[in-house]
Amino acid sequence: MYDVIAIGAGPFNLGLAALADGVDDVQLAVLDSRPEFTWHRGLMFEDAMLQVSFLADLVSLVEPAHHLSFLSFLKDNDRLYQFYVREKFHPTRREYETYLRWCAAQLDSLRFGHHVRDAVWNGSHFELTVERGDVLETFEARHLVVGVGTEPFVPAALAGLPPERFLHSADYLFRRDDLLRTGRVTVVGSGQSGAECALDLLRADSPAVSWLTRTPSFAPLDYSKLVLEMTTPSYVDYFHALDEPVRDKLVKEQWRHYKGISSETLDDIHDVLYARDLPADLQCGVAVVSAVARADGLELTMLHADSGKTFQHTTDAVVAATGYRNRPLPFMESLQEQIQHDAAGRWVINRDHSVHAADEQLAGRIFVANADLHSHGVAAPDLGIGAIRNAGILNSIAGREVYRLPKSTAFTTFAVPGAS
């Protein structure tokens, strides 16, 4: 009988395991269907930088002296002085994955190759049916943390394209060589992933590169200091207390806080365009209406937002940098009726990241990681909130203050002064 089973071993549940390591009265297991831990391998460009500070590791913003901090990783690998001399707070994405794998190797609570097929609440605890190879096993736990992450999203307008000419940006590096031999390549979408794919194609001197986006501009991430305070626990407190329609409106308006492009990447793209002899096609404010495969290539029908007119765009391959969506949860099907849903059909999630349940015995038993954008705001997918969220979950499960949470995290006051 475990105190908590976390389903999915992404960075957030990996961080939960790290903080639980050494907490004697919380017995935890993390189950993941993959054979080993990996992180965004299809976008692991050589020079890609993490978009947050090294302090947004698994533990430091709660317990800086933890043995699984990023600084401990550097010390263990004899790279601490090199990192100090480098004078950059942002690690490379490749180095951050190496850090995550270093942490995973030290955690006995991780169970890879364990696919959760079903979770049932029997009135006192959860019973999980888990597939491990050809064997079915039963795991029992008093609490669950659902952290299966997101999956690549492909809009309906692109969904029918032949797979040999189409890929999601999540698989870009796995298919890069084929793309470079294709001829005309079009990247659709202008988040960081789309920008990095477009930049790589331009640097490779691909003969015909197009970069199309429905956003009004190739917009940079808004990473100014006071705006970043909207990824702090102080803003999460404020956001969670708002009415559901207001929260939904704010999430749509605040997309540049987590879906924009780093200024450095935009500068690099402009430098390459300036030095490039071959023309490139960049268009913003255009959306894909439909796409079909023809003998001479792929034909995309585009809608120009400002004029309302449509036009045809022909290419040989499409890279869809169209983002991600929450993974479906078939293993939670038997529990759905006992969980409260909002007007949009999403789980109602309490401030401590527990799911609001109709059954009182189930209250405070199910927690979520990185599926709470609608309830906790733009901080939800940010690596910098992971340690705080996990510390709060552990405190709730243990029924005591395992980790002290910060009382003040922003200079900005978000609520009406004097409001509770």
Whether 182 and 265 map to the same domain: the answer is: yes
Domain region containing 353: 2-149+327-398
341: which 2 tokens? 């849903």
Whether 268 and 342 map to the same domain: the answer is: no
Whether 204 and 312 map to the same domain: the answer is: yes
Going from the C-alpha of 153 to that of each of 169, 249, 326, the distances in angstroms are 10, 21, 9
Alpha-carbon distance of 114 to 135, in angstroms, equals 10
Place of tokens 């294709």: 182
305: which 2 tokens? 């937002």
Whether 22 and 87 map to the same domain: the answer is: yes
Alpha-carbon distance of 401 to 62, in angstroms, equals 12
Whole-model pTM?
0.95
Amino acid at 59: V
Residue 238's CB is within 10 A of a number of other CB atoms, namely 19
- Distance, C-alpha 144 to centroid of its chain: 20
Whether 164 and 310 map to the same domain: the answer is: yes
Domain count, the chain: 2
Whether 309 and 191 map to the same domain: the answer is: yes
Q: Where are the beta strands (DSSP E) in 133-277?
A: 135-146, 150-152, 166-168, 184-188, 208-212
342: in domain: yes
334: in domain: yes
Going from the C-alpha of 294 to that of each of 18, 298, 314, 318, 385, the distances in angstroms are 51, 6, 9, 14, 46
231: which 2 tokens? 């990824």
Whether 297 and 318 map to the same domain: the answer is: yes
Alpha-carbon distance of 274 to 384, in angstroms, equals 35
180: in domain: yes
User: In a 3-state reduction of DSSP, which class is residue 255?
Assistant: helix
408: in domain: no
Going from the C-alpha of 322 to that of each of 93, 177, 248, 287, 339, the distances in angstroms are 20, 21, 20, 11, 30
- pLDDT attached to residue 420: 60
Whether 178 and 265 map to the same domain: the answer is: yes
User: In a 3-state reduction of DSSP, which class is residue 276?
Assistant: coil
Alpha-carbon distance of 188 to 298, in angstroms, equals 13
Whether 34 and 161 map to the same domain: the answer is: no
Q: DSSP labels for 5-24?
A: EEE--SHHHHHHHHHHTT-T
Going from the C-alpha of 89 to that of each of 14, 52, 204, 254, the distances in angstroms are 22, 8, 29, 25
Contact predicate 257/227, CB 8 Å: yes
106: in domain: yes
Going from the C-alpha of 66 to that of each of 15, 243, 245, 342, 402, the distances in angstroms are 12, 37, 40, 38, 13
| Gyration radius of the chain over CA positions | 23
Sign of CA dihedral 129, 324, 374, 399: positive
Give the residues across from 291 on adjacent strands.
Answer: 300
CATH number at residue 168: 3.50.50.60
251: in domain: no
234: in domain: no
32: which 2 tokens? 């993941």
Residue 212's CB is within 10 A of a number of other CB atoms, namely 25
Contact predicate 380/372, CB 8 Å: yes
- pLDDT attached to residue 360: 86
Contact predicate 114/130, CB 8 Å: yes
Of 274, 298, 324, which residue sits at a domain end? Answer: 324
370: in domain: yes
Of 272, 292, 324, which residue sits at a domain end? Answer: 324
Whether 268 and 193 map to the same domain: the answer is: yes
Whether 167 and 316 map to the same domain: the answer is: yes
290: which 2 tokens? 């439909």
User: In a 3-state reduction of DSSP, which class is residue 226?
Assistant: helix
Whether 166 and 299 map to the same domain: the answer is: yes
Q: Where are the beta strands (DSSP E) in 189-342?
A: 208-212, 280-283, 286-294, 297-304, 310-315, 317-320, 324-326
Per-residue model confidence as pLDDT tens for the chain (420 residues)? 999 999 999 999 999 999 999 899 999 999 999 999 999 999 999 889 998 999 999 999 999 999 999 999 999 999 999 999 999 999 999 999 999 999 999 999 999 999 999 999 999 999 999 999 999 999 999 999 999 999 999 999 999 999 999 999 999 999 999 999 999 999 999 899 999 999 999 999 988 999 999 999 999 988 889 999 999 999 999 999 999 999 999 999 998 888 889 999 999 999 999 999 888 999 999 999 999 999 989 999 999 999 999 999 999 999 999 999 999 999 999 999 999 999 999 999 999 999 999 888 899 999 999 899 999 999 999 999 999 999 999 999 999 999 999 999 999 999 998 776
